[in-house]
Structures are given as C-alpha cells and as structure tokens.
C-alpha cells in the first residue's frame, strides 16, 4: 500500500546527522524516518520551512533505493537553512545526489535543490528567496532537458539559478527545449535570468498562461531596454492581443512596479489575462507610458479593442502623457478605462481632433 510521508513546521525535526547514526533528542522522528520505506511512498512533503530538508535529500537520493511509487515531492525550507557545504554540494546537481522517481508527476522545491530524475513530470517548481546556494543555469538546463518535454505542462522558476555564467544574450549557446504541451509558465528574477529562461523554453500553445516578474536595472533608458528584451520574448507572435491593461504602483522608490496584462479574448471581469508581465527594482525607472507604448507596439496594436489603466494619483498629475501616441496606435479601440479620467486629463479638444473621434467611439453608453 502506498504511503504519504508529510512533515510540517509543527512536526519534530530530523537531526542533520541522522544518516551518520548520531544519537539526538529527536529519537521518535528519527526512528520514524529510518523505519519508513521511502520506496513505497506516494507523497513526500517536507515543508513549511523545516530545517531538516538537507537530511531528507540525502536519504531520498540514495541510489540503492529508487522511488518507483513517488508521485508528489515537496521540499520547502527557509533560505537560512539552505547554507553551508552540503547545500553547495547539492546545488552542483551531481548525479550522486539525484532523486530517482520515474513516476513522479509533481515536484515543488523551495529554497532547496537536487537533481530530479523523472520522465513523468507534469508540474515543476523551483524557487529561491535569496542568493543562497543555487544551481547554475547549465545545471538547471541539463536536468530539465531530461524531463519528457511532451507531457510537461506547468513550470515555475523564481530566482532558480545563479546569475553567474548565464548563456550569452545575443547568441544563446543552449538549444531551446521544445515544450508542445506547456500550459503555464511563471518566471521571476533578474532581467538576465528571465530572458535566458524565455529564450531557452520554447512553447507552441497559443493559450499558454505566462506570468513574468523581471527585476530591471536603474535609469530610464536602461530600464526601458530591459523591458523591451522581456516583452519581445513574451510576445513571439503579433496580432493576437485584444485587450491591454497597464498598471503602475509607486509606494516608494524600491517598490515601483509597472505591469502589463494582455488578453487574446475579449476582456471581461472574470477572465484572467493570458500574459502578465511585471517590472520592478529600478530606482529611476522609465515612465509607465513608455512601458505602455512598448507593450502595445510589441504585442501588436492592430486588433486591440480594449485598453485600461490603473495609475497612482501622482501619475494623473503628470502633464506630459503622450495620449496621442498611445491611443491613435489602436485603430480598433472601443473600450477605454477609466474613460472619464482620461478624457478629463486630455482636456478640451476640437471635435475634429483625432482624440475626439476616439473618445466618441469609446464613450460608455448613457
């Protein structure tokens, strides 16, 4: 009978030296762990920031005990628990410490890493909260290349590899991994990491859900260049976007965020966007309307019928918003939000002005 092995933050802790036969105060959990036939487990979850994840990786990666029944694996600890020589060793992706689970369909690694061997994966998550020992991108690439790309459906990578030794931006030296059935991709990290992932993972489904958070560099020009790189990779095809939403949050310098959400179907209140791209990190970023203009141009303005904004009060006080450039680039626009506020910001214009024509087309019904 398959077993479920689940340890949460409230469970006793497995000693770090358990596999070296040390005597500790946690004899109960030690005996439980040692007497659990891991090769019979269907689920293994060591989560909620437990400090003994490293010990569990060491036991699960025993090459003499493959895990043929394992279907779900979760290893989650806090970043301060993933330190030291042993964490650095596992982050190298050595075959010696690979977890072999040929029938595992779901893997979630949070502030922990070792090579996973499975040809059955449907969902793979790797997240790090800090610059604690992480694999290089080549180690991550080698592992993911061994997954069955034809069945992998969901990938989440957040600061999942060191920014050192990333493949070249202009001439990537790693062939793309073709993922014909990928349904959702979530990527978070520096612009270099995000663009490397987007160049390396190739999807073909038009209905993929894409979530990207990129940490851009300082300065308006360099920040906009970073955004251009990311946006071009998020929209490999043009003329498929019907709705665009741009949001800007500016609580304080380090918390500035500009987001772009787009829909390939007519947007509605309960319809989630196909793509959501968020830019943050720059102390002196480019203005939101530069991001909006870049996104509209790159995703293809020809079919856009809905354009909406969510801005700060300070944004609405700016007098240099290029409304002409933004709105006249959308020839099929008929929904504009917030309509009254945009119209008031533009101010009085002649009836023959091009914006007056757009406002008449987008005016909400009385």
What would the pLDDT profile of 217-237 be if each residue is shown by its tens digit? 889 999 999 999 999 999 988
Domain match, 49 and 168 both:
yes
Domain match, 146 and 59 both:
yes
Give the range among 163-177, 200-214, 304-318 with minimum mean pLDDT: 163-177
Rounded Cα gap, residues 320 and 256, in angstroms: 19
At 337 the pLDDT is 96
Stretch 4-15: mean pLDDT, rounded?
71
Of 205, 223, 258, the one marking the end of a domain is 205
Domain match, 39 and 114 both:
yes
Instruction: Classify residue 217: in a domain, yes or no.
Output: no
Burial of 175 (0-12, 13-18, 19+ CB in 10 A): exposed
At 17 the pLDDT is 44
Rounded Cα gap, residues 283 and 287, in angstroms: 12
Give the range among 3-12, 51-60, 168-177 with minimum mean pLDDT: 168-177
At 93 the pLDDT is 92
At 26 the pLDDT is 53
pLDDT band, residue 323 (cuts 50/70/90): very high
Residue 122 above 70 pLDDT? yes
Residue 141 above 90 pLDDT? yes
pLDDT band, residue 40 (cuts 50/70/90): confident
Of 187, 205, 223, the one marking the end of a domain is 205
**Structure confidence by residue, pLDDT tens digits, 78-121:** 999 999 999 999 999 998 899 999 999 999 999 999 999 999 99
Domain match, 181 and 254 both:
no
Domain match, 73 and 158 both:
yes
DSSP string, 316-348: HH-S---HHHHHHT-TT--EEETHHHHHHHH--
Count the domains in the chain.
2
Dihedral sign, Cα of residue 37, residue 38, residue 40, residue 44: positive
Instruction: Classify residue 313: in a domain, yes or no.
Output: yes
Domain match, 42 and 189 both:
yes
pLDDT band, residue 63 (cuts 50/70/90): low
Per the structure, the complete domain to which residue 257 belongs is given by: 239-366
Distance of CA 257 to the CA centre of its chain: 15
Domain match, 169 and 82 both:
yes
Of 190, 205, 220, the one marking the end of a domain is 205
Instruction: Classify residue 234: in a domain, yes or no.
Output: no
| CA neighbor of 14 nearest in space, from 25, 3, 30 | 30
First-to-last alpha carbon distance for the chain, in angstroms, is: 66
Instruction: Classify residue 46: in a domain, yes or no.
Output: yes
At 16 the pLDDT is 45
Domain match, 199 and 283 both:
no
Instruction: Classify residue 189: in a domain, yes or no.
Output: yes
**201-203/184-190 β-pairing:** unpaired
Domain match, 359 and 287 both:
yes
Domain match, 32 and 164 both:
yes
Domain match, 98 and 165 both:
yes
């Amino acid at each position: 009978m398959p077993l479920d092995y689940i340890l949460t933050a409230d469970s006793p802790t497995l000693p770090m030296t358990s596999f070296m036969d040390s005597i500790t105060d946690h004899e109960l959990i030690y005996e439980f762990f040692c007497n659990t036939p891991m090769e019979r487990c269907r689920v293994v979850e060591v989560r909620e920031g437990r400090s003994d994840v490293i010990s569990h990786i060491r036991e699960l990666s025993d090459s003499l005990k493959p895990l043929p029944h394992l279907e779900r694996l979760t290893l989650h600890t806090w970043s301060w628990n993933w330190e030291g020589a042993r964490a650095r060793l596992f982050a190298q992706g050595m075959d010696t410490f690979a977890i072999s689970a040929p029938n595992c369909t779901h893997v979630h690694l949070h502030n922990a890493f070792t090579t996973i061997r499975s040809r059955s994966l449907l969902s793979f998550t790797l997240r790090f909260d800090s610059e604690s020992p992480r694999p290089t991108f080549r180690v991550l690439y080698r592992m993911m290349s061994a997954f069955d790309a034809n069945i992998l459906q969901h990938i989440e990578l957040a600061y999942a590899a060191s920014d050192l030794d990333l493949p070249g931006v202009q001439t990537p030296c790693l062939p793309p991994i073709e993922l014909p059935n990928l349904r959702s991709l979530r990527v978070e990290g520096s612009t270099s990491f995000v663009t490397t992932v987007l160049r390396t993972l190739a999807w073909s489904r038009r209905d993929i859900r894409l979530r990207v958070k990129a940490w851009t560099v300082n300065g308006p020009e360099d920040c906009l260049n970073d955004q251009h790189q990311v946006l071009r990779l998020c929209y490999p095809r043009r003329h498929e976007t019907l709705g665009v939403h741009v949001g800007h949050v500016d609580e304080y310098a380090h918390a500035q965020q500009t987001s772009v959400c787009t829909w390939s179907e007519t947007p509605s209140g309960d319809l989630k966007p196909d793509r959501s791209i968020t830019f943050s990190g720059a102390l002196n970023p480019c203005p939101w309307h530069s991001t909006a203009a870049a996104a509209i141009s790159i995703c293809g303005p020809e079919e856009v019928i809905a354009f909406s904004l969510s801005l700060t009060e300070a944004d609405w006080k700016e007098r240099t918003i290029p409304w002409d450039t933004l709105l006249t680039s959308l020839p099929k626009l008929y929904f504009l939000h917030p309509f009254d506020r945009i119209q008031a910001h533009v101010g009085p214009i002649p009836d023959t002005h091009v914006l007056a024509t757009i406002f008449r087309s987008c005016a909400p019904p009385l």
